[in-house]
């Protein structure tokens, strides 16, 4: 699911991949307005499926981190107001979600972005963060 959700540098929010054209992508904003727009090769685009969080051992895929946030918040949006929270509150939240996260390389701004993205996805009904089929084949 996260492979089709994109973050575009310089544009707020998240976008869902709708189709691919020649030298461009057609994306739709995740959220209330569902606005569609073209994204060109000059824009820096990254799939949420390609993002990972640093831990003391290895990197953890963003999908697993979002799944841990969903479990902590019982499927609802995050109650912590990331805009007004202090750095200590943000790091305490992150320690609950991912206890062994790398405290040196994961900054407060990263935690704010994680909460913002999770809330956007949860509010739009996109709550399948880990591909079930991939989990079954890994066992």
Same domain (yes/no): 36, 65 = no
Give the angle subtended at the CA of 72 by the CAs of 30 and 132, to the nearest 5°. Answer: 65
Q: Please state, as a whole number, how many other Cβ atoms lie within 10 Å of the Cβ of residue 20.
A: 10
Cα–Cα distance for residue pair 18/60, rounded to 1 Å: 27
CATH value at residue 101: 1.10.10.1650
Q: Please state, as a whole number, how many other Cβ atoms lie within 10 Å of the Cβ of residue 52.
A: 14
Model's pTM, two decimal places?
0.86
Number of domains in the chain: 2
Give yes or no for residue 137 having a pLDDT over 50.
no
Give the angle subtended at the CA of 7 by the CAs of 124 and 75, to the nearest 5°. Answer: 35
Domain that residue 99 falls in? 51-130
Inside any domain, residue 89? yes
For residue 118, the surrounding DSSP H or E stretch is helix 108-123
Write down the pLDDT at residue 136.
Answer: 44
Range with lowest mean pLDDT among 24-28, 58-62, 114-118, 123-127: 123-127
Cα–Cα distance for residue pair 24/22, rounded to 1 Å: 5
Inside any domain, residue 135? no
Same domain (yes/no): 109, 42 = no
Write down the pLDDT at residue 133.
Answer: 54
What are the backbone dihedrals phi and psi of residue 133, each rounded to the nearest 5 degrees, phi first? -65, -40
Same domain (yes/no): 77, 123 = yes
């Amino acid at each position: 699911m996260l492979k089709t959700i994109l973050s575009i540098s310089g544009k707020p929010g998240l976008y869902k991949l709708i189709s691919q054209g020649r030298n461009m992508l057609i994306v739709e904003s995740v959220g209330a307005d569902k606005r569609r727009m073209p994204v060109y090769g000059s824009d820096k685009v990254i799939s949420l499926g390609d993002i990972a969080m640093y831990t003391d051992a290895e990197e953890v895929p963003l999908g697993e981190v979002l799944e841990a946030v969903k479990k902590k918040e019982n499927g609802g949006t995050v109650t912590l107001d990331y805009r007004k929270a202090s750095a200590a509150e943000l790091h305490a939240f992150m320690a609950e979600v991912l206890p062994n996260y790398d405290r040196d390389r994961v900054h407060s701004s990263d935690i704010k972005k994680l909460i913002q993205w999770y809330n956007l996805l949860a509010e739009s009904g996109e709550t399948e963060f880990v591909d079930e089929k991939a989990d079954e084949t890994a066992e």
